[in-house]
Amino acid sequence: MTGRPRRDPRAERAARQVGLGARPRFDLAQPPGGLSGIGPSGRPRRDPRAEQAALLVPGGDRPRLARGGTGGIGPARASAPAPVARVIRMDDPACLVVVVPDLPDGRLDRLDRQVLGAARVLADAASGAVVLLGGAGTPDLMADVGPAGADRLALVDLASDDPEYRAATVCAALAALSPRHVLFPDSDDGADLARRVAAHTGQGLMTGVEVLTARQAIRPSRAGRREQISAPPMLLTLAPDRVAPYAGEAREGRPLPVDAPPVPPGAGRIRASALRAADPATMNLAEAPFVVAAGNGVTDFALFRSVVAGLHATPGASRVVCDAGSMPRAAQVGASGTVLDAVCYLAFGIAGAPQHLQGLGRVEHVVAVNTDLHAAMVARAGLSVIADAQRVMPALRDALAAEDG
Amino acid sequence: MMATALRAVVLLSAGIDPVSGRPAPVGTEIRAIGLARALGARAIGLHAGLPVPVLREYAGYGLADIVCLDGAGADPVTALARAILSGGLFAEGPVDLVLAGRRASGGADSGLLPYAVAERLGWPIVADVAAAQRATPAGPSPELEIEQARPRGARRTARVAGPCVLSVHEVAACVPDFVFAQARAAVLRTMPAGIDGSPPLAGGAEERAYRRRPRLIAAAAQASGGRVLVDPAPQDAARAIIDHLRALGVLPPPAGS
């Protein structure tokens, strides 16, 4: 006798039998010898498969295990309670940081949000409040500014088409608010306004700031070969894509009345008209917002041009097509052609060579029509149609023509 | 009545090439010279500083006469405004138009100087000029019709009555040809700026070599996992593409709606 408990494998197996069919079935996950979970050796039995299933993180194509934690992230975990929306109020700010956004179409754009994020950095360090100086008559703005990080919303009359009058209005509002910092976006309109305000008030202006913290601001100088570092000045313009937009909890965005003296209507020395969009058919490819390009999968270029005209887009092409002379060289997209700055790129019959994809630099949305499911362009695209471009283009042209009536 | 030729002053800076760091003319100021020529103006170059060799290159683009203001380093804005208002630049009369690049290349590069000069002169300034023409061909008071360059190829028309300051954008198409003989024959005149005092020391702003920093990556680059339609009917594919483009906002809604 060895002293170990004697096992009866047949009895253990019979205990695990489930169902009474023609073929015996056994549930091997069930602990032998009842539900105690203690094996015949006296040690607790582990179930590695169940443990792994408990560590499995839901979502994703490949199984991913959350090791090192307490486990239990798997499907068995109870869902987290929904976050309670909280609005941060700033009742007694130590100072004000004013943001003068561009507000194209009366809404905050990407750079405006980044400027608000930068203002948040400066205001949080001094426990100040961020004031957004917006144009009156922009009703969408109210709900938008709080989540973007503004504590106050001051509305002044910025609707004039005279840039001098707008600058005078901003100067009057700033004189009434006496902020510690004023931030402008370094876009064309924002930079123009900032420089007018700086020249009018005689304050120094730090333009195109690339790094902004509470203690220092850095901007390039001397043709971008040197950089200037100083404490954040009162007036500055922020270069695009340098400071992250505000991502914290929503701020209040409370309306702030500005008791500025009314600005006398200017002499009207400058009369600017409304913005006129460029003709997409002839505009420069590098600044076109929507480019439709033809590759080797396109053979009928008259059809391609009619589709491009129907989409109100700018025509582009791959190198192969330009080499063949089917499209002008100026339309070439890619490393040896033009690098795009478009919002959307629609590629007909382009597989997506690396040199071509380099030309898509900052393109946000790609749509691909290609016969090859495994083409690089299909991997880059937000919508891919795996079909012959020569068959899709007539359908697209007809659909657009039917809409226009 | 014949249209009198405008009298234009082009503000010139001693620029450097951003890549090599060697003295080079600034592209926007070359376009400013071209704009003066396109307007049929008589143009004089004005530089706040000593006559440096790079100014001859501007002359090659069509400036026969360049005036350098000696001793303007202490307060270039005052020196330039004084020279423009002094009446000593043109024998025929006062200055009608001041042209500048929208931003220098080689100094502080803040783009603030044209605005400061305009403020000092009390003249209106129109920035980012892509093209300009005279709105009133005949008449003593020049009124200009100006195309302002805006992002994505958009343009805005502005009318401004002279005298005024214009800052020229990089996309302006009026690039004059370079003529080597003109560059050699140019006269660089030096005038005293009438400013006493030494150049102000750079107060507060420390300077060091530029460090390239990564930009924020746009939320664009969706790794993969876009919608894929495998071998749809052409009509379905066209409808899917149109709906997708409408959702992105790049395609205007149909005319009927």
Task: Please give the residue of chain B at the shortest CA–CA distance from A390.
Answer: B234
- More confident site: B141 or A54: A54
Q: Do B220 and A364 touch (CB under 8 A)?
A: yes
- More confident site: B45 or A91: B45
**pLDDT value at position A97?**
95
Question: Which stretch of A52-61, A84-93, A208-217, B157-166 has the lowest confidence by average pLDDT?
Answer: A52-61
Contact list, A364 vs chain B (CB under 8 Å): 218, 220
pLDDT confidence tier of residue B199, bands split at 50, 70 and 90: low
Q: Which of residues 21-80 of A touch B (CB under 8 A)?
A: none
Residue ending a domain, among A235, A255, A275, is A255
Q: How many CB pairs under 8 A join A and B?
A: 228
Side chain identity at residue A282, one-letter code: T
Largest CA distance in chain B: 80
What is the mean pLDDT of the segment spanning A23-43?
Answer: 68
How distant is the Cα of B245 from the closest Cα of chain A, in angstroms? 8
Q: What are B188's strand-pairing partners?
A: B66
CA distance A302 to A313: 15
Do residues A299 and A379 both lie within one domain? yes
Contact list, A234 vs chain B (CB under 8 Å): none
Closest Cβ opposite residue B111 in set A195, A289, A343: A195
- More confident site: A76 or B74: B74
Query: Is A251's Cβ below 8 Å from some Cβ in B?
Result: no
Query: Is A234's Cβ below 8 Å from some Cβ in B?
Result: no
Contact list, A387 vs chain B (CB under 8 Å): 229, 231-232, 234, 237
**pLDDT value at position A58?**
73
Structure tokens at A371: 């016969």
Q: Residue A182 maps to which CATH number?
A: 3.40.50.620
Do residues A210 and A291 both lie within one domain? no
pLDDT confidence tier of residue B200, bands split at 50, 70 and 90: low
Q: What percentage of chain A has pLDDT greater than the value 90?
A: 53
Residue ending a domain, among A200, A233, A255, is A255
> Is the model's pLDDT at A75 over the cut of 50?
no
**pLDDT value at position A129?**
94
Q: Is residue B63 classed exposed, middle or buried when 0-12, 13-18 and 19+ CB atoms within 10 A define those classes?
A: buried
Task: Please give the residue of chain B at the shortest CA–CA distance from A282.
Answer: B153
What is the mean pLDDT of the segment spanning B210-226?
Answer: 68
Q: Is residue A244 part of a domain?
A: yes
Per-residue model confidence as pLDDT tens digits over A183-205: 999 999 999 999 999 999 998 89
Structure tokens at A401: 């023509």
Domains identified in chain A, total number: 2
Closest Cβ opposite residue B237 in set A224, A226, A395: A395
**pLDDT value at position A107?**
82
pLDDT confidence tier of residue A182, bands split at 50, 70 and 90: very high
Q: Do A287 and B237 touch (CB under 8 A)?
A: no
- More confident site: A19 or B166: B166
Side chain identity at residue B250, one-letter code: V
Q: Which of A222, A364, A400, A403 to mutate to test the interface with B (most CBs of B within 10 A)?
A: A222
pLDDT confidence tier of residue A39, bands split at 50, 70 and 90: low
Q: Do A269 and B157 touch (CB under 8 A)?
A: no
Residue A165 dihedral angles phi and psi, to the nearest 5°: -65, -40
> Is the model's pLDDT at B220 over the cut of 50?
no
Q: Do B220 and A365 touch (CB under 8 A)?
A: yes
**pLDDT value at position A150?**
93
Q: Is residue A397 part of a domain?
A: yes
Task: Please give the residue of chain B at the shortest CA–CA distance from A245.
Answer: B216
Query: Is A266's Cβ below 8 Å from some Cβ in B?
Result: no
ipTM score assigned to the predicted complex: 0.89
Q: What percentage of chain A has pLDDT greater than the value 70?
A: 91
* Among the listed residues A35, A30, A44, A41, the one whose alpha carbon sits nearest the alpha carbon of residue A5: A41
**pLDDT value at position A81?**
54
**pLDDT value at position A90?**
85
Do residues A337 and A396 both lie within one domain? yes
Do residues A296 and A379 both lie within one domain? yes
What is the mean pLDDT of the segment spanning A157-182?
Answer: 90
Query: Is A197's Cβ below 8 Å from some Cβ in B?
Result: no
Contact present, A158 and A134 (Cβ < 8 Å): yes
> Is the model's pLDDT at A70 over the cut of 70?
no
- More confident site: B215 or A290: A290
Q: Do A210 and B213 touch (CB under 8 A)?
A: yes
Report the relative pairing of strands A181-185 and A152-156 from DSSP bridges. Answer: unpaired
- How far is C-alpha B68 from the geometric centre of its chain's CA atoms? 20
How distant is the Cα of A220 from the closest Cα of chain B, in angstroms? 7
Q: What is the CATH number of domain B7-192?
A: 3.40.50.620
Q: Do B237 and A343 touch (CB under 8 A)?
A: no
Q: SS3 for A112?
A: helix
Mean residue pLDDT across chain A = 86
Do residues A247 and A313 both lie within one domain? no
pLDDT confidence tier of residue A266, bands split at 50, 70 and 90: low
Do residues A127 and A223 both lie within one domain? yes
Neighbours of A202 (CB within 10 A): 8
Do residues A249 and A290 both lie within one domain? no
Q: Which of residues 142-181 of A touch B (CB under 8 A)?
A: 164
How distant is the Cα of B67 from the closest Cα of chain A, in angstroms? 23
Q: Which residues lie below 8 Å from residue B55, measured CB to CB, with a gap of 6+?
A: B12, B14, B45, B47, B66, B68, B186, B188
Task: Please give the residue of chain B at the shortest CA–CA distance from A380.
Answer: B224
Q: Do B218 and A221 touch (CB under 8 A)?
A: no
What is the mean pLDDT of the segment spanning A48-71?
Answer: 75
> Is the model's pLDDT at B256 over the cut of 80?
no
Per-residue model confidence as pLDDT tens digits over B92-141: 889 999 999 999 998 889 999 999 999 999 999 999 999 999 887 666 66
pLDDT confidence tier of residue B225, bands split at 50, 70 and 90: low
Q: Is residue A28 part of a domain?
A: no
- Could you report how far apart the first and last alpha carbons of chain B are, in Å? 53
Do residues A114 and A241 both lie within one domain? yes
Q: Do A228 and B108 touch (CB under 8 A)?
A: yes
Q: Is residue A37 part of a domain?
A: no
Contact list, B128 vs chain A (CB under 8 Å): 188, 192
Per-residue model confidence as pLDDT tens digits over B66-90: 999 998 888 899 999 999 999 889 9
Do residues A233 and A302 both lie within one domain? no
Do residues A107 and A250 both lie within one domain? yes
- More confident site: A35 or A63: A63
Q: Residue A302 maps to which CATH number?
A: 3.40.50.1220
Closest Cβ opposite residue A344 in set B108, B109, B248: B248
**pLDDT value at position A36?**
54
The residue assigned the tokens 């499907």 is A75
**pLDDT value at position A76?**
42
- More confident site: A142 or A318: A318
Task: Please give the residue of chain A at the shortest CA–CA distance from B22.
Answer: A223
Domain ranges across chain B: 7-192
Query: Is A199's Cβ below 8 Å from some Cβ in B?
Result: yes
CA distance B139 to B206: 51
Q: Which of B75, B250, B257 to mutate to test the interface with A (most CBs of A within 10 A)?
A: B250
Per-residue model confidence as pLDDT tens digits over B5-54: 889 999 999 999 999 999 999 999 999 999 999 999 999 999 999 999 99
Contact list, B215 vs chain A (CB under 8 Å): 241-242
Do residues A197 and A302 both lie within one domain? no
Do residues A232 and A302 both lie within one domain? no
Task: Please give the residue of chain B at the shortest CA–CA distance from A360.
Answer: B221
Side chain identity at residue A365, one-letter code: H
Task: Please give the residue of chain B at the shortest CA–CA distance from A243.
Answer: B216
Q: Is residue A76 part of a domain?
A: no
> Is the model's pLDDT at A71 over the cut of 50?
no
Q: Is residue A127 part of a domain?
A: yes
Per the document, the length of chain A is 405
Residue ending a domain, among A239, A255, A271, is A255
Domain span including residue A360:
285-404
Q: Do A223 and B15 touch (CB under 8 A)?
A: yes
Contact list, A382 vs chain B (CB under 8 Å): 222, 226-227, 244
pLDDT confidence tier of residue B149, bands split at 50, 70 and 90: very high
> Is the model's pLDDT at A77 over the cut of 60?
no
Per-residue model confidence as pLDDT tens digits over A16-31: 887 777 788 887 776 6
Task: Please give the residue of chain A at the shortest CA–CA distance from B150.
Answer: A188
CA distance B32 to B26: 10
Q: Do B228 and A384 touch (CB under 8 A)?
A: yes
